[in-house]
Amino acid sequence: MRIVENETEVLDAIHSARREAISSFGNDKLLMERYLRQPRHVEVQVFADNHGNCIYLSDRDCSIQRRHQKVVEEAPAPGLSDELRVKMGEAAVAAAKAIDYQGAGTVEFLLDTDNSFYFMEMNTRLQVEHPVTELVTGQDLVKWQLMVASGHPLPLAQDEVRIHGHSFEVRIYAEDPQNEFLPASGKLNFLREPEQSRFVRIDSGIRENDVISNFYDPMISKLIVWDESRPRALQRLVHSLESYQISGLKHNIEFLANIAEHQAFRDANFSTDFIDRYGDGLIGRGLSGSAIKDEQTALALAALYQVCARKVAAKACAINSNDPYSPWGTVSGFRLNSASQHQVSLLDDNHELQHLELIETSVGGKSIFQMQQGDNLYVLNGELHGELLHAEISLSQADKNRDPLTDKNQAHKFKVPVSQVDDDFTLFINSSSYHFRAIQTELTEEQECLADKLKAPMNGTVVTHLVNAGDTVTAGQGLMVMEAMKMEYTIESPFDGIVSAFFFDIGELVSDGAVLVDVEPAKKEEG
């Protein structure tokens, strides 16, 4: 789908949509239709048998979307009057009866701000979001399908349908919200799902160490929650997202938590442009209500984890050695006539190298660490128990005239799950995940520069070249188009220069991180 605001955009939109349609469906025929600026996406679940019976089973709101793909669904749709629900339900049933439909189906509408609604399409199947309808109706819709297919009548009449409570579903995707939601692929190194109950349901087909490839839709699983009311169900959703932990690839869990915590969403004040309108605030950290929201604080915890991990490893080595009490088998940061110091180098999420120093002091037999970052002074202590870091941390302003160990600042206690594979590790703090790489040796300047815009940002296929080898290009000019999972991405030149060569032809598969094109920077004029 493409939105066209003026006639100068028409041809570009047609060409782009046709390329995507041919790639995804083998058919480039297009439809042009009226654009509603701030509608809601409300759909109705219908069911029909071969005995002439047809009913509707609640409605669903699927307005929270990005690129016309649903992200959050809920049932029943909030804020609809009883009269409007009946009108939409009856319209959906009329549409199904008009084609003598049988089985499960979904009639989708666009609901305008004046409560007028427009038929969009009918999905002649059971949809991804059907669990929210199951939870508010108490009905097994897959069982209904089998009954209807076997020739049995529907188990309920319209006046027997009951709606109880409220339900949300979110789609856990392998994608990078901070990089235009580009699909992600890779290995699920670590997977911990929320505990399932009558309030929490997870529909998934993946396990830890499975690989998410670029050949299929990037949805990892569906998280569905239910409770007696919308606010209580929303609270269940937030808590479940905080308990959902994935590492090894980019995902949208923090993004979903930020949506659930957003005041406009809590107030059910939204339309299909919700993510476009509030996108910047939804992608950033810090909306999950945690006492620890700061990336600098996560960095401090990462440094503490590294020191704790070193101590655990040293202790294990000492126990297995001929002299378990040897001072050479300890990691105390000991220095003669000086405070004990620990040096930690980490590469963070933004590919920035962080050199950290922790000063260790013993207080009452317990190791206390101080770490200064700018004007902030962190006082930390903790222990590592398997995959869980038990930590206590307080933050104050650095002040040479004050002893941080006796400062009365409030300390926060955590149990932080940690996933580590080789030198890469992830800290899970509420619904946020913080990825780091422990650097054992100094990096060269060239190695530190990891953000190369001429590399493939994902696994995918080359769609087209926008320029030719030998062409002169300017910074920001499109060089080529890639496609993955029904989405196009333009590779742009990071600087002025001349295109030396393309390394992949149109139609070729490309791996994430592969160098796609070589651009020779323009020489600066002297004088």
Q: At what angle do helices 141-149 and 130-137 cross, to 10 degrees?
A: 100
Q: Which two tokens stand for residue 324?
A: 């378990």
pLDDT means per 10 residues in the chain (527 residues)?
92 95 93 89 98 97 92 97 97 97 97 95 95 98 97 97 98 90 88 96 93 86 98 97 93 95 96 92 61 74 93 78 58 56 87 88 87 87 91 78 59 89 89 87 41 74 93 91 83 88 91 84 64
Gyration radius from the chain CA atoms: 28
C-alpha 437/C-alpha 442 separation (Å) is 13
Report the predicted TM-score, pTM, of the whole model to 2 decimal places. Answer: 0.75
Residues present in the chain in total? 527
Quick check: 345 and 353 in contact, CB under 8 A?
yes
| Residue 8 DSSP symbol | G
Class of domain 452-521: mainly beta
Residue 334's pLDDT is: 53
Q: Which of 229, 35, 242 is nearest to 136 (CA)?
A: 229
Quick check: 75 and 166 in contact, CB under 8 A?
yes
Strand partners, 45: 106
Q: Which residues of 469-499 are buried (b: 16+ CB within 10 A; e: fewer)?
A: eeeebeeebebbbbbbbebbbebbbeebbbb
Task: List every span in the chain annotated with CATH 2.40.50.100.
Answer: 452-521
Cα–Cα separations (whole angstroms), residue 101 to 194, 224, 303, 479, 498 = 38, 28, 61, 48, 59
Residues in contact with 500: Cβ distance below 8 Å, sequence separation at least 6, in sequence order? 469, 518, 519, 520
Class of domain 37-164: alpha beta
Q: Where are the alpha helices (DSSP H) in 262-366?
A: 263-266, 274-283, 295-319
C-alpha 206/C-alpha 402 separation (Å) is 52
Q: What is the DSSP string of 74-123?
A: EESPTT--HHHHHHHHHHHHHHHHHTT--EEEEEEEEEPTTS-EEEEEEE
Residue 114's pLDDT is: 93
Q: Is the peptide bond before 76 cis (omega within 30 degrees of 0)?
A: yes
Chain-centre distance for alpha carbon 237: 15
Residue 92's pLDDT is: 98
Residue 323's pLDDT is: 62
Burial of 168 (0-12, 13-18, 19+ CB in 10 A): buried
Half-sphere exposure of 255 toward its Cβ, with a 13 Å CA cutoff? Answer: 26
Task: List every span in the chain annotated with CATH 3.30.470.20.
Answer: 37-164, 170-289
Residue 476's pLDDT is: 86
The residues assigned a catalytic role are 125
Residues in contact with 234: Cβ distance below 8 Å, sequence separation at least 6, in sequence order? 168, 260, 266
CATH node for 295-438? 3.30.700.40
Class of domain 170-289: alpha beta
Residue 217's pLDDT is: 83
Q: Where are the alpha helices (DSSP H) in 284-437?
A: 295-319
Task: List every span in the chain annotated with CATH 3.30.700.40.
Answer: 295-438
